[in-house]
Amino acid sequence: MSNYGEHLWVGQIGNGFVILSLIAAVLSAVGYYFYSKEVLTSEWKRFANVAFSIHSISIIGIAATIFFMLFNHYYEYSYVYQHSNNEMPMQYIMSCFWEGQEGSFLLWAFWNVVLGNILRRTIDAKWEAPTMAIFALVQVFIASMLLGIFIGDYKLGTNPFLLLRENPDFANMPFLSIPGFPTKIDGRGLNPLLMNYWMTIHPPTLFLGFSSTLVPFVFAIAGLWKRDFTTWQKPALTWTFFSIMILGTGILMGGAWAYEALSFGGFWAWDPVENSSLVPWLVMVGAGHVMIINKNKGGSLFMTHLMAIASFLLVLYSTFLTRSGILGNSSVHAFTDLGMQGQLVVYVLTFVLICVVLLIHDKLIRVSYLMVSFMMLFLGIVIGYKIILLLTWLGISFVITIYSYMKFFPKEEEEESLYSREFWMFVGSLVFLLASLVITYFTSIPVLNKLFSLEKAPIKVADYNLWMVPFAIVALVLVAVTQFFKYQKTDPKRFIKHITWSGVFAVIFGLSAVIPLYFLKEYSLAKSIDKWNLISYAILFISALFAVFCNLDYWMRTLKGKTRHAGASIAHIGFALILLGALISTSKKQTISQNTSQKNVASLGENFSAKKSLVLTKGDTLPMGNYLVTYKGKEHKGIDVFFHMDYFTKDKYGKLVKAFELSPMVQDNPRMGQASNPDTKHFLGSDIYTHITYADLSDNRAVKKDAYKEPTNFVGHMHDTIFADNAIILIDSITTNLTEEQYSKNDSLLVVTAVLKATDINGTVYRATPKYILKNNTVLPDEFELNELGLKFIFWKINPQEGSIEIQMSEKVNNTREFVVLEAYMFPFINVLWLGCLVMIIGTVVAIMERRRKNRTQLG
């Protein structure tokens, strides 16, 4: 223990594990590489496996050390200080672990070693060396992200065991010089948005999904390595659908967290980080389907390699987007830049380089490409022009990839028939790939801005929806009809016969729903939605029903209701229900919190509108949608402030009957700021979603009625605004009784008056004139009480150089009736979406189990 009371031994153990994990990963990659050369096979295999086991133990050791520090509140360590505190419930200790960059990288490395150890114990000997060599190389890069060392001016990784006094952001804090300071301070705490049960399960599930994309990737790389473009797909197929299932589950959990914890009013906002997890999933879905084509008919070899490889590379790209700081404020999920932007770029480009090199058959071209690549890297380091060199290298890599595909890659001898299952499955995979490219382009706008010095603004949610709806319609139609095709060739008449009744039912039920939903004015929002959107919504609705009916028909009639064989049909039904639920709940989302009070909500600021913000005064009962709502008051539970509201309906006699209670919450975190958490009432047919947008969070229960709160100091300029709980105060003008010259010549009394205009919630304007009095260079404090609003002002300082003034404002406790501003939305049929999530996951699990059963049968 140091003189400051620091537990240095813990960090030394952790750093030892970090260094050991990196060395072991390097040795493992080298061992598996030489094992693949089939020289001293058993020795290199044993060496590589031992090294990978040591690496695995080291990763677990790093994680255990961090948890030990978090449990014991070792605030002398920067990571513990930044992500936890004494007040935080221990149930969120896991959220602390992966809130920061270091913890999330470690979570990724942990799942990689779990999957890597499963893979090396179950894989065929033919594929063990090349797959595990790439696996270990990935771990080398992730382990390097935890080093936190400087090589010259370049920082390699960020270390979770950095002492607080060694962190440049905290090194000058005065308490660091106090002996025993770690036990005398408290940490900054967890981000309030992460203090949610979903955030204890969503990140590990999502990162397991990210890790799972590595397995099909290493198989595809091994296929290129061994020049065996087909047989790797059999063991990779089960892993691919496991990746589809677990990554999809992680994404859906993120949507559930956003719906329950965030206050934007929805489950998906096309946030860049949301997109960067969705895109690898879309590509992996395409990869799984082209692998099925190859398994049943052969062919599509290039596409299986391309999509299996692209899915993992897109995970790496999403890592760059999320952790490089390049997204700035365009994402609520993104991490800040910790100086790892260059390292992340190298991480991504290294695996692009490996893929291109292994794709090249001609040795001269391969060697030339490697020489040019390293020369361009050297030039970028020495002379700069990094962006030009990067774009040039990417162009060269793309050209060589196309050339190698055209020249050396195996091609299909026959074109697929238009009436074949493989043709339409291939088309469906292309649809998913194209959709992912469109999303990637829009998500990458911050990157393009930086590369080309542009100032292009990210597109809005409505624009994303406009682009994605056509892709969704095509995907749903393909999901509906493709299973009715046979491989190689299908009788067109028989095919039409199979899908006719499903199509008829989809059109009948669809039109009976979409006409009142979108086209009849008394039921729809047709005036607020343009005609193309209405038509596209109707087509999407009918397409989703068509997909559900077709897959139910295929399950019941073609598969005779056998669930074991119906995994694909069940997953397709779930996919269709997700899109159907998302369509209805978002397009028919209804704002029910229009302001029905007499209060002027717009006076609170430009973000408040009578169209969506309801002012609720304590004790009042106001209509809201189909309910009447009463605000009962607030309740403090630690740093959480709950606002209790009763919702009533009227019985047949007109008497109010309590229907339910909601308590939206605002977390008043002294270090992290305020965060609003919604509360939702779930019904079978809809949800009532509410959150607080304005409230007084102070606890006034123990304060005398006529007492004032502690004064707050405001530094402002002319026409700046000061916010009180019950009014908005404008610094309208400043007057003085003397000029500066007059004051300097005479020993006179200088009086400077700040003219303030205070507007209350009803729009009534009051005038306050606090005075700054200077006599004999001494400031004489002068209070001005605005009794109508229970406010007291002291104009106590003038900053002539900045052109600003300083005013202290005190607010009288309980001077007005307590009120809140509430936003509430009704999401119809959102349970269709959540049902679709469960159905899709179940269907994918059934498909995986059936695939494993068939593999065991074939081996037996």
Q: What is the pLDDT of residues 671-716, one digit of tens each?
A: 667 788 899 999 999 999 998 988 877 776 555 556 788 888 888 8
Bridge partners, residue 687, by sequence: 682, 827
- Rounded Cα gap, residues 544 and 483, in angstroms: 16
- Rounded Cα gap, residues 495 and 484, in angstroms: 6
Q: Which long-range contacts (CB under 8 A, 24 or more apart) does 334-340 make?
A: 334/272, 334/273, 335/100, 335/101, 335/104, 338/101, 338/158, 339/155, 339/158, 340/101, 340/145, 340/155, 340/157, 340/158
Residues 858 and 795 in one domain: no
Find out whether 612 and 821 touch, Cβ atoms under 8 Å.
no
Residues 250 and 347 in one domain: yes
Number of compact structural domains in the chain: 5
754 φ, ψ to 5°? -95, 120
Single residue among 457, 487, 513 that ends a domain in this structure: 457
Residues 469 and 579 in one domain: yes
Range of the domain at 536: 460-588+831-860
Residues 148 and 8 in one domain: yes
pLDDT for position 526: 46
403, part of any domain: no
Which residues, other chains included, contact 384 with Cβ-Cβ below 8 Å and sequence gap of 6+?
none
417 φ, ψ to 5°? -70, 145
- Rounded Cα gap, residues 26 and 143, in angstroms: 10
- Give the residue among 817, 828, 827 at the shortest CA–CA distance from 597: 817
Single residue among 457, 490, 522 that ends a domain in this structure: 457
383, part of any domain: no
pLDDT for position 447: 83
- Rounded Cα gap, residues 323 and 104, in angstroms: 10
How does DSSP assign 247-287, residue by residue?
HHHHHHHHHHHHHHH-SSSSS----HHHHHHHHHHHHHHHH
Bridge partners, residue 695, by sequence: 820
- Rounded Cα gap, residues 401 and 781, in angstroms: 77
Single residue among 133, 161, 195 that ends a domain in this structure: 195
Write out the H or E segment, with its range, that includes residue 33.
Answer: helix 8-36
384, part of any domain: no
208, part of any domain: no
- Rounded Cα gap, residues 194 and 695, in angstroms: 22
Q: Which residues of the chain fall below pLDDT 50? A: 332-335, 337, 522, 526
Residues 672 and 537 in one domain: no
Residues 435 and 469 in one domain: no
30, part of any domain: yes
Q: Which long-range contacts (CB under 8 A, 24 or more apart) does 677-684 make?
A: 677/192, 677/196, 677/260, 677/261, 677/263, 678/260, 678/261, 678/262, 678/263, 678/265, 680/259, 680/260, 681/647, 682/831, 684/831
444, part of any domain: yes
- Give the residue among 384, 354, 58, 111 at the shortest CA–CA distance from 224: 354
pLDDT for position 747: 60
Q: What angle do CA 224, 230, 236 make, to 5 degrees?
A: 85
476, part of any domain: yes
pTM score over 0.75: yes
Residues 312 and 441 in one domain: yes
Which residues, other chains included, contact 750 with Cβ-Cβ below 8 Å and sequence gap of 6+?
736, 737, 738, 743, 772, 773, 774, 775
**Exposed/middle/buried for residue 418 (C-beta within 10 Å: 0-12, 13-18, 19+):** exposed
Distance of alpha carbon 262 from the chain centroid: 11
CA-only gyration radius of the chain, Å: 32
Residues 451 and 468 in one domain: no
Residues 536 and 672 in one domain: no
Residues 669 and 764 in one domain: no
- Eight-class DSSP state of 332: S
Helical segments of 717-796, H only: 740-745
- Rounded Cα gap, residues 434 and 350, in angstroms: 25
595, part of any domain: no
Residues 643 and 754 in one domain: no
Residues 32 and 71 in one domain: yes
Distance of alpha carbon 815 from the chain centroid: 42
- Rounded Cα gap, residues 621 and 683, in angstroms: 23
